[in-house]
Amino acid sequence: MRIVVALGGHAFPRRIEHAAHENDRQQIRAAARALADLARDHSLVVTHETDRLIEDQLRRELANLLGHDRITTLLTRTIVRGVQPADICELPAIRLLADNDFLVICASGYAPVRRAEAGALENLEGPLDNDLWSAVLARRLQADCLMLLTDVAALYADWQTDRPRRIRCAHPEALDPGDFPAGSTGVKIDAARDFAISTGRPAYIGALDQASELLDGSTGTCVKTGVNGFRFGTTLTKARPNAVAGCSAPRLLARPCCSASGNQSPPQSVPAAHKSLA
């Protein structure tokens, strides 16, 4: 199975000046262990928004764990349509490497471009969001699934109560980014919804250190079209305040999305801006 794995900034160091710090080295090793567990059974394309030094350290750690050097890194250029990523110039190279059993690590969207009226490419300012970029890559690669990995275990409902419930899986139209904290959470939901709606394949949101467990539903949140509304998994209690990826308080948490009786909210319509980026 081909999986595109997006490494979130909360779970993975970003800046070159931190690469020599022991905590960041431990994060890189932990990321490599989680990715190696997946790579032993699946074809991986890993995306990130860190610098090249950290990327190279991740490649070396993976090579040591997997016992081979069929791991390569790529810096990519992205064609932007409007304000959203639409295509990736290096897509043929990424596909060729993945088809030949390479684990590919991509630095996402650091050189966005747009196509002028005459057909030439023009440079644009600023990087693109890694989650949205990864959804485009996964769709264009026809990946079997997309994983959006961070430092918390899942999306939760009823989190203001003493018994928040893990959203085990959800229809993409039932998730509203407006119900989640502003910032990276809403973007992850947008990316997951875009991939699930445009391909009919699942997207997962969960913790980096639990990546291999996302596929069997034992952790994380799966966004897919083959489910109505929400399905719930683990219920947390006040006796387990650190159950979400070791955090004192869950970070990726939804406002209550169903009634106290447990009835599911009906799927909401998807605004045009949240449909496929293509």
Written as one letter, the residue type at 132 is: L
Distance CA 183, CA 32 (A): 26
Distance CA 170, CA 265 (A): 11
User: How many angstroms separate the Cα of 64 from the Cα of each of 36, 37, 70, 106, 173?
Assistant: 10, 13, 11, 19, 42
Distance CA 53, CA 19 (A): 7
Residue 184 neighbours by CB under 8 Å, 6+ apart: 8, 9, 10, 131, 150
- pTM, two decimals, is 0.81
Distance CA 75, CA 107 (A): 5
Q: Which neighbouring-strand residues pair with 3? A: 44, 145
- Pair of tokens at residue 16: 């070159």
Place of tokens 């959800």: 170
* C-beta atoms surrounding 231 within 10 Å: 16
Long-range contacts of residues 215-221, Cβ cutoff 8 Å, at least 24 apart: 215/145, 217/168, 217/169, 219/153, 219/154, 220/153, 220/154, 221/154, 221/155, 221/166, 221/167, 221/168, 221/169, 221/170
Q: Report the sign of the C-alpha dihedral through residues 256, 274, 127, 92, in that order.
A: positive
* Domain architecture of the chain: domains with CATH: 1-143 (3.40.1160.10), 151-198+217-278 (no CATH)
Per-residue pLDDT of the chain (278 residues; tens, 9 = 90+): 999 999 987 777 765 455 556 777 888 999 999 999 999 999 999 999 887 888 899 999 999 999 999 999 998 888 888 778 888 989 999 999 999 999 999 988 667 888 777 777 788 776 688 999 999 999 999 999 999 999 888 988 876 678 888 899 999 999 887 776 666 778 899 999 999 999 999 999 999 999 999 999 999 999 999 888 888 886 654 333 333 322 223 333 333 333 333 344 433 333 333 222 22
- Do 77 and 113 touch, CB atoms closer than 8 A? yes
